[in-house]
Structure formats: C-alpha cells, structure tokens
Structure 1
Amino acid sequence: MTRSSARSTLPAPLRGDHTTTDVCTSEDALTSAGTRIPAAELRARRVAREAGRWRTFAAERTRMRPGTLDAKALDACAFSVHHGASSFAVPSKLVGTSRHQPLLRSLALDPDTSWLALDLGARGDHLVVSRGGRVLGRVQPKHLGWVRPLVPFGLTVHLARVTGTDASGQGRGYRLGCNVAFGHVGKALGRLDETMTGPGGDGAGSGALRLVVSNGVTETTRDRIGILVRPEYEAITGDAEDVVLWRTAEGVARASVPHAARHSPTGIEWGYGGSGPADLALSVLLALVGERAANALYQRFKHEVVARVPETGGVLRAADVRAWVERQAA
C-alpha cells in the first residue's frame, strides 16, 4: 500500500494565486529596473527571503542545532519552490501515528487526498493534527516552538503523503506514517511582524495596542503606561499567570483562564462589546484580582481592553492587568 509521490501539484490555497503584490499577474513582469523576470523566479526569490526569516525565527524557539536548522531551511525552500507554493512551506512528519492506523490506511487508499487540508489543535502540551475530528498524529516536539505561535497568524497543515509499504496488501505487519506540510509559513511570519510593528514599521501594530483612560476617554498611545495586547508567541517568555487568548483551527475563541459563564453560556469572545467579551473580561479579572474587583470592573475592562483585542488573539500580561485595576481605584 503506497501513496503517490509528494511531488504532486499543490492545491490552490498553497500555490501562487497571483493576487499578492509581489507575485506578477502574468508569466513575465517588469521590475522597477525595467528587466523582465519570470513570475516563477520572483516567487522563488521571495520564498528564499522567507526561508531566511523562518531560520532566524525558529532558531530562537527550538533546540535544533544550527546545522540542522540550516539544512531544514534549505530543504523547505527547495520544497516550496518545486511545488509552486505561494509562501514558504515546511515539510515534516507526524509522531504518535501508531495509534491511528485505520484512518491513515483509509487516507492511503483514497487517491484524492493529496495535499488535503488538516486540522491543527492544542491538546495539553501537544499540537495534534486531525481530519474530521479523528487524530492522525502529533507535531514533533522540536517544531512546537515555532509552529505554535504562527497558528493564530494563518499557518496551515496539509497531508503530503501516507508512508509505509505492505507487499501483501493486507495492512498487516507494519506501521503507517504521515508526512505533512506546514503551509503559509512565510505569510504567517509577515502577519506576526505586522502585529508587532504595524504595517508601517512604527511599532503600533494591532497586536501592540496600548490602552489607557484619561478623563474618561479611552486613548491609544505608545508613550503612556497601559495594557499591552502582546503577540501570542510572547506567552513562551511570560509569567505563568499571563492570560493567553487564541483561536482553534475552527476559529473558536479560547483563553488560558477558566470561563466564568455569566452572560454567554456558549463561550467567550473578544474584539467587540457583547456577552462573550463580557464573560472573558470577568474570567480574566476573577483569575487575577479576585471576585470583588472583578464584579465591579469587568464591564469597564470589557470596553477598554477586551473589545480592542485583535481578532487573532494575544497575551495579556498579569502584571499589566493588576496595574490597570489599581489605577481604577486611584
């Protein structure tokens, strides 16, 4: 039982879709210098730049040795260019597949599963890859450090190949494995950069919003002390009490504090004023400052902080939240 080679064409979501400003709209494009350069070459250059950025990003978040990272970046760059990916993609393989052989076997027998989009979600300290609610395996621990922070910014995962052979064709006496490709890595890195620095590179990105109150008016500023909504990856370096807000692969809002259900029994939310954000505000304050302050301040916290959290989520430092509560009593 073998799958077709992973050299098959990538699906539209991973191929160059010719809609971004750095991918030309025809086979050739005029550069600023007036030289005609094929679109494929322009894309290859961009993927190579993204590979360098990924190498730097991953080096700070993994225990892989420099030589291993260099080889991985080069291999992934070649993989992305060869398959015509619209953004830098990283091939990998899953671990923990031995418990999920029936699903892997069904995928191996299906000729229409090349580059199938898979689901990625958290389960304890692991990231699990699944299809239709059925688990295929886990992301390798050495990749968790760079994969996890990019999930809220558009990183995807796709089936590349089910590995394993069986001469008898009966599915006995061997174990199937699963190769995958993390897609849109380059674009996710770009979105993360914008969150941290803003599109203009001025440090005022949506994920770096400082919220303060002056004479009853909410302001956005970089110069005054307020609550900084930090990018999700900063949870790695923060305090254990910091509140991490993220979305599952299905877009469901999640928080690292228990849900205090008062207005929204179906769950929390952020980014606007409503029942879901009200419950999140209450949940955050109950976890960090106690019931009395939480009950008194959660609606204000909802309007001034929770309603302005970016769609993708972020990190609320526990120290910032407590300082905000203290300022309300001043």
Structure 2
Amino acid sequence: MNHHDVQPVSPLTLTWVHRQLDPGERIVGTEVLHGGITADVRRLTVATRGGGTRDLVLRSFVDPFSVERAEDWLSREAGALTLLAGTGVTAPGLVAVDPTAAHCAYPSLLMTHLAGRTVLEDEGLETRVPLLARKLVAIHALRPAERPREYEALTTADTVVVPKGADAAAWAAAIDVIRRPAPRYEGRFLHRDFQPGNVLFNAPPDAPSEAPPDTPSDGPSDALPARSAGTRITGVVDWAATSWGPADLDVAHCSTNLALLHGPAWGQRFAEAYEEAGGELAAAASERLYWQVRDPLACSEEVRLVARAWRDAGRAALTTRAVEERLDAYVTALMGVLG
C-alpha cells in the first residue's frame, strides 16, 4: 500500500462526481488531504449557482490491496454515515458511493466536508485526550437497529513483527497473551479506527506541529496551554472499518496511536480518561490486557506506513525507528502494568 504519490482524479471519476452535484454546480478546485494510509482523499471545492462555494470530500481506493477490499469497506462506511445522520456523533454526510468502481476509475465515496482539522502535535494534548475519550464513549453508546459485522482481529501471534532491539521477553509474553482465546465481551458499536488522525478539532492551524527536541512529550503534564481553551471536536471521519465488538478494541487502538505519537504514558492515560468519561472496559486485568496489547502487536506489522503518514502530516521527527522505539516501550509498559 503506497499512497505517498497520490493519483490524479480521473475524468471518469470526475464525471461521476458531477452527476452528484446540483444543477448549475461545477468543481472549481481540488486539494489533496494527507495523513491517510489506505485511500487517496481530496477536498473538492464546488461553485454553487448562487455564486458561493461548498466543499465535498472524495475518497478513493487505488492500490490493489485496497481495491480488493473496497466493496466491503465503502459499503460499511456508507452504511455508517447513513446511520450516524441525526445522532449526536458528527460525521460527514453521505452524498454517493461507488464501491465496485462501476462508474469511477477506482472504488470511491463522495461525502460532505466537515469543518476542523486533525491535530497531531504535542501541544494541548492534556485538553484533547479527555475530549477524545468522551467522543468515543458517545460512539459506543449508539445502538443501531442493524448491527455492523463482527470485528476483525487484524493480527495473529504468528504475524507480529518484533522491532529490532526490542525487549524480547516482554514481546514474547505479549504474543503469548494473544494466543489465548478471546475473552467474552459485551458488544458495542465500534469505529474501529478511532485515533487522532480521524478526529477533527476546531484548533487553529498555526500551532507548532512538533515539540522541540529538548522537550519531549513522554507523558501527561499539569500545564494546560492557553490556546487549548475552547478546543472542541467538530467531527469524526473514516468509518470504513465500523464493526461490532468490545469497547476495549477501540480504546486500545486510540491508546496505541497516542503512545506512538506522543509517548507511551499517553496510551495508558487514554484508557483512564475513557473510564473517567463513563466508558466501561473489561473488568479482569487479564481480559483487559488481551485487548489492550493486541492493537500495538497489530501495529508492529505496519510501522513504516504509519510513520510515513505522520511525517507527511507534519510530524517530521517520527521516523520509522522512532516509532518502533515507542512501540517497544509501550508494549513493555503494558506487560509491566497489566501482565
């Protein structure tokens, strides 16, 4: 899956998009939206009949790996966006979907554009983590009339990639954990890719994207930046992996991303914030460990892709090696606390 070089929008796809517009509207601009791994995403600026403009977002799967799975992913996303309309969880509105590329050059989904931006920098994280936790609790509280399909595990004990120089004993113990049968759980509506890259904030775009090298963010701090006042979530995007399963899975995924973006302690802090917001996780430590460690082990298989996406989004210091080191530290910490 290589999305470093985004493909141009084909005339075939543009023709399909034009058929979804209101009479008299036309596309007057396109902008590539970076930060994703599995899809090419663009903002399309549409001139309206009244002389104004509105924005849409075009999401297309272009590489062979994603194209093979696009019908499932895009159908699930379209269903989720339809379900979320009118709930308290703000998500894009579905405009049209072509999951099999019957009309487009590649499988594609067209949706409304939400205000806000993703925020991946360290500054203001103390404020954003509780907001992320409360939003995830709200997602898990949804009770759709028709449940999405059961979650997929995404990794096995035999496919984990242990980083070079990692704590071999900790990783071996973690891998043994996921060899066990999955614990019983109470099902919840899952986003399944809930993490900072898929959450939009009203934060101003002029905040620094990287903490200075001499001030690493390896854990929570008591200082709250003044610019964090009034920060709020404006929406959640990328619902292609919507599933039914344990809340622990979504919490573990966001925890892993926070640990790799900002330092291992932030992963553990998110699980705490989720419970503080009223969310419920597995009661037994052994069950919680099973779900919590499964996600970083899955991440081990795609560290290079994740690190590159974050660098493209402005986190230049997050080299593959830097992310591997944080992943090792996080897995080791989980095994020390819960193992």
The answer, yes or no, to whether TM exceeds 0.5 is no
Q: TM-score, normalised by structure 2?
A: 0.28
Q: Which has the higher contact order (CA 8 A, sep 6+)?
A: 2
Larger Cα-atom Rg: 1
Q: TM-score, normalised by structure 1?
A: 0.29
